Amino acid sequence: MRKVSFFSILIIITIPLLITGCNNASTNTNASKENELQKLRSENEKVKEQLNESLQSIEVYKREQNVNKNLAGEEGYQWVKEEEWDKILVYKTDLPNEKIQVTDKLFLKNIYFANLMIQQLDPLNGPQSDVAHYTYEFIKGNNIYKVNVVGRDIIEFEGKYFTTNKYIYNLGKALLPAPKFIKTDAVLNKIYESGAVHGDNRFNYLYVDSFRIHGFVTFIQDGLDKGTVSILSGVPGNVGEVEETFTFYYYGEKLIMTVYPNYISIKDGTKTYWYKIDPNQIIFTVLTAG
């Protein structure tokens, strides 16, 4: 009985040990497989990161190759070198039946793209800018080049998008009627918001740079604040010779600024405003600086 009991006890003790040994072996195998799987996952993540870095490097390289790339000499883009057009039409893109023909000679001679470095962009997705969309039709002989301005520095031509002069949109702002929500009689505000300006003599060139146009108003307003410019209630007696006459284009309106040695006059429709300026203050620096 004791032998039987001993062997019975031995069997009872041995069986759990064997079972435990099997379980331990299975656990070790599963743990090993889990470690290998984790390593594969880690290596896979590293490969993904390397692939993403490579793709990003390729995109950066492509962009760098296109930066400051002038397309003027490439086939289909020679028109950007044109320096004088037979006709230019401008209209809001969504109002093609309300085209305005540009008749001012300076506009016809000075609206061209040869000096613009054009970089091609990927197709746009959604609204890109607060700038109203304008369309220009540049006509030379039998050729018509249709350019859509879709942002402050983005144009679309024949289904392709390009970065270009960020002030090119101002041409539409200069020539087309003002949106209904814009209401102002303040002459300095009109000049500030003008889309283009040119002089008649020394500065006989079309400027569409907003920062230069803004400079005229900044000059006057800073002078008023500092006391070097003052508003006159009437026409002064002896204004002297005209130094320059500027024409500002504000939503189809023209404002004429005449600069004298000590005075400035601004004509807005039937009204004329006069300012006395310090003779040491030179307004022309707004067009020559930078």
pLDDT tens track for 17-26: 445 555 555 5
Element (H, E) at 287: helix 285-288
Tokens representing 253 are 């309106």
CA atoms within 13 A on the CB side of 128: 17
Contact criterion met (CB below 8 Å) for 103 and 90: no
191: left (phi over 0), alpha (psi -120 to 50) or beta: alpha
Place of tokens 């000679």: 105
The predicted pLDDT at position 83 comes to 75
Over the stretch 127-153, which tens digit does the pLDDT of each residue have?
Answer: 556 677 889 898 989 999 998 888 777
The predicted pLDDT at position 103 comes to 82
Over the stretch 78-91, which tens digit does the pLDDT of each residue have?
Answer: 777 777 888 889 99
Mean pLDDT of all residues belonging to the chain: 77
List the domains of the chain with CATH numbers. 71-173 (2.60.40), 187-288 (2.60.40)
Q: How many residues does the chain have?
A: 290
Quote the pTM value.
0.69
Q: Which of 3-12, 111-120, 169-178, 246-255 has the highest mean pLDDT?
A: 246-255
Q: What whole-number distance in Å separates Cα of residue 264 and Cα of residue 258? A: 6
One-letter amino acid of 268: D
Classify each residue of 188-198 as buried b or exposed e, where b means 16 or more C-beta atoms within 10 Å of its C-beta.
bebbbbbbbbb
One-letter amino acid of 69: K
| Model confidence at 247: pLDDT above 70 | yes
Tokens representing 16 are 């759990």
Q: Which residue has the higher pLDDT, 138 or 74?
A: 138
Q: What whole-number distance in Å separates Cα of residue 190 and Cα of residue 192? A: 5
